[in-house]
Homo-oligomer: A and B are copies of this chain.
């Protein structure tokens, strides 16, 4: 599944990196394209194996470096559940995560502004949130009626 990045995505990558004085490299491009190709919240190891199909010499440390860089640029988000390996998500819209107990798969769940507002409203005065994380854990009925959005 060798996948190329679209012109639009490459520009997005280029500009986001440029904002913090960093450059597009072949490794970064491959890692980014892996994230865009299958938005299933892969772990570092999964990204590593997928990226190696395109670039066999790529090292694990570089995958860690790239992902960290992208998170720093705001290109992707980290997703943690309990103490499992960190997963990565290129969906920048506000959303929650649902981890299916049966399959281990992580689904994106849209988080509407009014729900975010209701969450903010429970904070006593003086609490100023920079980030809000919502995650569900349970069973999701088979039928892949809900592709990772």
Contact = CB atoms under 8 A, between A and B. Distances in A.
Interface of A: 78, 80, 82-83, 86, 96, 98, 101, 107, 109-112, 114-115, 118-119, 121-124, 126-141, 143, 145-146
B122 A140 contact: no
A80 B85 CA distance: 13
A145 B123 contact: no
Nearest 3 A-B pairs (CB), nearest first? A126-B141, A129-B138, A130-B138
A129 B134 CA distance: 12
A122 B111 contact: yes
Contacts of A145: 124, 126
Nearest to A110: B122
A95 to B, nearest CB: 9
A6 to B, nearest CB: 28
A68 to B, nearest CB: 13
Given A115-B122, A119-B115, A122-B112, A132 B134 contact: yes
A143 B126 contact: yes
B143 A123 contact: no
Contacts of A115: 118-119, 121-122
